[in-house]
Amino acid sequence: MINKIKKIILNHLLSQNDWMQTTLIHHQNKIIVIEISDLKTIFKVNEIGLLQSINESEVFDCSIKLTVNDFFNQLIKNKNTNISIEGDLDLAKDVSEVLKKIRWDVEEDLSSYIGDLPALHTTNILKKVATNSKKNIENIAGSLLEYWQEENQIIAKKRNLENFNRKVDEIVESTEIFEARIEKIIKKTKS
């Protein structure tokens, strides 16, 4: 049941991104398996160049395996670390590019339930909430950093650290000079 729901959602999301046809049409009927930790998803490039989620296949043209952390690094930071690819490398590259660019058209889905204008307003509000939430998180983080540097002084400012290090270096240098003078005096007194 869960696989059926996953397949329906995935196919719906992929169908909203029909731009991928131009990228994938030359890989028609090829099968790709993407394994993120223990979650395995199988795709087939259909006759019009869209990715289509399928239940099972014994043969794969391409296999992409990665952990959940590596998956998020790929999506968010565009870092391709620890990704295992077997088979058709051109297919893997094209599928990876497609999956990075896929977006869910929330407005289109909402419009079928609440109408075009309310869907437009709802998605605009959701975008503002997401943007404001990100700004608020950045502001809170900045305020905490400033508080920890100025008021509570848990975190040192860079200039304070540099000043401290400079003073330590001066003390070390003065100590070495003092030790050298003491050794000189000791040698003179022994002679």
List, for residues 83-131, the tens digit of each pLDDT value. Answer: 778 888 888 888 777 776 666 677 777 788 888 888 788 888 877 877 7
Strand order in the sheet with 39-45: 51-54, 39-45, 31-36, 62-66, 84-87
CB-CB contact of 53 with 72 (8 Å): no
CA-to-CA distance for 162 and 153, rounded, in angstroms?
16
pTM of the model: 0.47
Looking at residue 51, what DSSP letter applies? E
Query: Residue 54: in which H helix or E strand, if any?
Result: strand 51-54
Closest CA to 75 of 103, 107, 33: 103
Give the pLDDT mean for 168-188: 89
What integer pLDDT is reported at residue 14 of this predicted model? 64
Q: What does the DSSP 8-state code read for residue 77?
A: I
pLDDT recorded at residue 157: 72
121-135 tens-digit pLDDT? 888 887 787 777 777
Quickly state the pLDDT bin for 3 (edges 50, 70, 90): low
Number of C-beta neighbours around residue 148 at 10 A = 13
Mean pLDDT of all residues in 135-159? 73
Q: Under CATH, which number does the domain 2-101 receive?
A: 3.30.1050.10
Q: Is 53 helix (H, G, I), strand (E, B) or coil?
A: strand
| Res. 2: pLDDT tops 70 | no
Residue 96 corresponds to which tokens in the numbers above?
């990876």
Q: Per residue in 39-83, pLDDT tens? A: 888 888 888 877 777 877 778 888 888 887 777 666 555 556 677
Which residue reads 């870092």 in tokens? 79
Q: How far apart are CA 9 and CA 188, in angstroms?
A: 90
**Phi first, then psi: what are they for 44, rounded to 5°?**
-130, 135
Pairing of strands 31-36, 62-66: parallel
Residue 13 has pLDDT above 70, yes or no: no
